[in-house]
Structure 1
Amino acid sequence: MQRPPAPHVAPDVADVTAEMRALGARWPAADGVAVFNRVYLAVTEEIGRRVEAGEFPDRRAAVTLDVLFARRYLTAVRLAESGGRPPDCWRPLFHHRRHPGVRPVQFALAGINAHIGHDLALAVVDACHALDCVPADLENEFDQVGDVLTLMEERIREDLMPGPDLLEVADPLTHLISSWSLDRARDAAWSAARLLWGVRELPGLAEEFTERLDTSVGLVGRCLLTPWPAAVAP
């Protein structure tokens, strides 16, 4: 099972948010990865604010999960930009990031799909190793982080979906976007994390499951990034 390259966990979320801001400053605003990066930066900053406000009873567990989760995305970016091969779940977003027929809401949700559908399960396992605990010990933190993600998904749909003047021509897009559910993706990620933890002593089986998870999430990402005719594009 793929593990993050750096075992050290930052004491807070400042390191990962700083890296996201630096990436956003380098990329054009319309770049598909930049669209997701802005959304994810807002999520991570909100989680950081809630940690500092004492809303997570176990601060260390919350920060560890959040940082290891973010590092999965940042590692995928570094691999893509260095000519390496990021996980399959991220490849559709990097491949289509400048496609004129893909709308911003598609970029944002494709990134969330990759990060929740694949990275979150692995981050839970990473955090269990780092904290010497089991997934059940992180369930409260998992749920609280998920609540922030759900709020951000609602904002994405409100801010990035086409306006009423485009409703008729964008009907297929509305149907496509509405077919994906963050809640279902969260539930699947939690189940995957528990399964991976349960087979951690069987590395061959864990690796096979992780690869299949990566591939299946990548397939959903390709569907979410279906280009639309130029007349529909902004």
Structure 2
Amino acid sequence: MAQLEQFTTPADQVDSVLRRMRALGDGWPEGDGIAVFHGVYLTVTQEVVRRIAGGHFTDARAAATLDVRFAERYLAALDAVADDRRPPACWRPLFQYRRHPGVRPLQFALAGINAHIGHDLALAVVDTCHDLGCEPEALEDEFDRVGDLLVLLEERIREDVMPGPDLLQIADPLTHLMGAWSLDRARDGAWSAARALWALRNFPDLAEEFAQRLDAAVGLVGRMLLTPLPT
């Protein structure tokens, strides 16, 4: 990962990422699976900037560093695809199915959240620990507060892309997909994975193998979330 740019305040770090995300959001057609996820993630990033600037976090520098490293993982996946390189396995299903007519907007959103939280968040914690020279436990409060903001992402999805109650019936396969994935469980898994990766930091071969298996497992879940469904 590239070294963090030097900004005047922690909020400036996140604001730099925010400006790039806003620019990227203008380049995709409506209904594109990446655009669906990007829109809701942009909303959360904007809220992070607002809360860091407003003193919501006890350690603003740690919160900003974690949020920037978190966003960089997603932006790196976008860069890989733009450069005709393979993105991490967790992101591949979303890029492969992004224009599939049988995949609904809610599925795209869930698959993006699954990749970003299940894989990227764990690695972002480790990146942040290296940047700040601290143990994961020192970031737990910031992790929890950023995690609380991710709940806003889920709520935004429910407001913007979830079908109305007349369409989302109990027999609809989409109902079952929604119940098969949990944001809270993904957050818990990301924290456990981050701690395991940090514990393996002096064993690079094992750490790399663990990270690759995490990536593959999250990608498998994403592929199932993107199963084309009948309308």
Q: TM-score range by the shorter chain?
A: over 0.9
- So what's the TM-score if we normalise by structure 1? 0.93
The CA distance in 2 between the partners of 1:135 and 1:38, in whole Å, is 29
Shift of 1:158: 3.4
User: Does structure 1 conserve the Cα–Cα contact (< 8 Å) formed by 2:40 and 2:156?
Assistant: no
The CA distance in 2 between the partners of 1:186 and 1:46, in whole Å, is 19
Q: How does 1:1-234 map to 2 (within 5 A)?
A: 4=1, 6-9=2-5, 11=7, 12-168=13-169, 171-229=172-230, 232=231
Shift of 1:151: 2.5
Q: How many residues align?
A: 226
Shift of 1:169: 8.4
User: Does structure 1 conserve the Cα–Cα contact (< 8 Å) formed by 2:77 and 2:91?
Assistant: yes
The CA distance in 2 between the partners of 1:10 and 1:16, in whole Å, is 13
Q: Deviations along 1:27-80, whole A, 9 cap, x unmatched?
A: 112110011111111011101111011010111100000001000000000001
SS at match of 1:165: coil
Shift of 1:10: 5.6
| One-letter amino acid of the counterpart of residue 87, structure 1 | P
RMSD: 1.3
- State the identity as a percent: 66
User: Does structure 1 conserve the Cα–Cα contact (< 8 Å) formed by 2:94 and 2:222?
Assistant: yes
The CA distance in 2 between the partners of 1:169 and 1:135, in whole Å, is 41
SS at match of 2:175: helix
- Long gaps (5+) in structure 2: 8-12
The CA distance in 1 between the partners of 2:136 and 2:147, in whole Å, is 15
The CA distance in 2 between the partners of 1:170 and 1:42, in whole Å, is 31
- So what's the TM-score if we normalise by structure 2? 0.94
Deviant stretches of 4+, over 4 Å: none
Aligned CA distance change for structure 1 residues 46 and 142 (closer, same or farther; 3 Å): same
| One-letter amino acid of the counterpart of residue 208, structure 1 | E
When structure 1 is superposed on structure 2, of 163-172 and 202-211 the one drifting more is: 163-172
Shift of 1:159: 2.7
| One-letter amino acid of the counterpart of residue 19, structure 1 | R
User: Does structure 2 conserve the Cα–Cα contact (< 8 Å) formed by 1:93 and 1:110?
Assistant: yes
